[in-house]
């Protein structure tokens, strides 16, 4: 199995991340990858329940580290006028843009959109059209940079989503803390942070290419959020269902959380 001798950082992703294989392997169906059974349905269900309340809404939502995917904003798109998606890898951003323009050969997100819309009680064709209309920017994003969107500058958002990004980009806990601090700056005071991530994971694979992951605990994540003055509204954990037979990753659990940024302006 191909793997890097050290933590896989940005250059490795730019060279080795296969966007099409990633989508095909992990997002072709609502059940997700056969060796990570239940992961994707858990994530989509959590996002549906969070945004169907109508509690989290506003002008702008930023998705930090979208990869080549749009699944994290399917439930949210009804509640925000402007969606900003982002990723470090050039090919990932191109895949999103191809889907927005409905170009030939773009990935088929319809199975996931249909699944989410059935939960949300909405028309999938309406949601698909709304998603394409409301994604206003697809930006280069580097969470290790003080301004992740340099040279662009984005106004603070009402909601920020980040999924499977920070632990993949951070080689140690201090780097993770700094990355989450930068993500927090993208939120307005009182705004909502929605985070999806993995606990106890050290690697994941796309076909036979192996990528590193920072091994996190629930306490690690809670501690970072507390120090950034977030108030956690919910923190859900979905344990790995068949860890011994999972060859594509070694996560112990998936977490999903919603936290509110302090209203202090300092």
CATH number at 21 reads 3.40.50.150
Q: Is the pLDDT of residue 155 over 90?
A: yes
Let me know if residue 135 belongs to a domain: yes
In a domain, 230, yes or no: yes
Are 60 and 81 within 8 A, CB to CB? yes
Whether 244 has a binding-site annotation, put simply, is no
Number of domains forming the structure of the chain = 1
Please give the C-alpha separations between residue 249 and each of 20, 155, 164, 182, 198, in angstroms, as whole numbers: 18, 36, 12, 27, 10
- Classify residue 104: in a domain, yes or no: yes
Residue 160 assigned to a binding site: no
pLDDT of 65 higher than 80: yes
pLDDT band for 205, please (50, 70, 90 cuts). Answer: very high
DSSP state letter for 262: P
29: Cα separation from own chain's centroid: 17
Q: How many residues does the chain have?
A: 266
Rounded-to-integer distance, Cα 19 and Cα 31, Å: 19
pLDDT given at position 24: 94
Q: Is residue 68 in some structural domain?
A: yes
Give the lowest-confidence range in 159-168, 205-214, 240-249.
Answer: 240-249
Residue 189 lies in a domain: yes
User: 195 and 256 in contact (C-beta within 8 Å)?
Assistant: yes
For residue 249, name the pLDDT band (cuts at 50, 70, 90).
confident
Q: Is 66 annotated as a binding residue?
A: yes
DSSP 71: G
- Give the domain extent around 141: 10-261
**Predicted confidence (pLDDT) per residue in 172-196, tens digit:** 999 999 999 999 999 999 999 999 9
SS3 53: coil
What's the rounded Cα separation, in Å, for the pair 31 and 115?
10
pLDDT for 2 equals 38
From residue 129, give the alpha-carbon distance in Å to each of 74, 126, 133.
Answer: 11, 5, 6
- Domain membership flag for residue 112: yes
Q: How far is CA 132 from CA 64, 100, 198, 253, 259, in A?
A: 18, 5, 29, 32, 27
Neighbouring CB atoms inside 10 A of 144's CB total: 16
249 annotated ligand-binding residue: no
Annotated binding-site residue? 142? yes
Tell me if 61 is assigned to some domain.
Answer: yes
Mean per-residue pLDDT for 12-18? 96
For residues 246 and 198, which has the higher predicted lDDT (pLDDT)?
Answer: 198
178 is in an annotated binding site: no
pTM above 0.85, yes or no: yes
Cα separation, 142 vs 170, whole angstroms: 11
Question: Is 185 a member of any domain?
Answer: yes
Beta carbons within 8 Å of 225's beta carbon, 6+ residues apart: 180, 193, 232, 257, 259
**Cα 246 to Cα 51, 95, 167, 203, distances in angstroms:** 31, 27, 19, 11
Residues whose CB is less than 8 angstroms from the CB of residue 152 and which lie 6 or more positions away in sequence, other chains included: 137, 139, 140
**87 annotated to a ligand binding site:** yes
């Amino acid at each position: 199995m191909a793997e890097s001798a050290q933590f896989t950082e940005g250059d490795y992703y730019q060279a080795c991340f296969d966007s099409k294989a990633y989508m095909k392997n992990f997002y072709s169906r609502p059940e997700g990858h056969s060796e990570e059974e239940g992961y994707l349905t858990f994530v989509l269900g959590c996002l549906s329940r969070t945004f169907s309340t109508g509690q989290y809404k506003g002008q702008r939502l930023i998705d930090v580290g979208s990869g080549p995917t749009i699944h994290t904003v399917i439930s949210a798109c009804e509640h925000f006028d402007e969606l900003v998606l982002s990723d470090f890898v050039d090919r990932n951003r191109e895949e999103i843009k191809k889907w927005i323009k409905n170009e030939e050969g773009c990935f088929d997100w319809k199975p996931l959109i249909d699944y989410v819309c059935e939960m949300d009680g909405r028309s999938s064709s309406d949601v698909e059209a709304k998603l394409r209309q409301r994604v206003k920017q697809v930006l280069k994003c580097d969470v290790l940079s003080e301004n992740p969107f340099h040279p662009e500058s984005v106004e603070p958002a009402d909601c920020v989503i980040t999924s499977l990004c920070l632990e993949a980009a951070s080689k140690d806990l201090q780097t993770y803390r700094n990355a989450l601090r930068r993500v927090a700056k993208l939120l307005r005071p009182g705004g909502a942070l929605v985070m999806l991530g993995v606990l106890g994971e050290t690697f994941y694979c796309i076909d036979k290419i192996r990528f590193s992951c920072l091994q996190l605990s629930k306490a690690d994540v809670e501690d970072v959020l507390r120090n950034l003055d977030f108030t956690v509204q919910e923190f859900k954990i979905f344990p790995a269902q068949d860890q011994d037979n999972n060859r594509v990753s070694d996560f112990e659990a998936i977490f999903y959380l919603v936290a509110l940024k302090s209203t202090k302006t300092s």
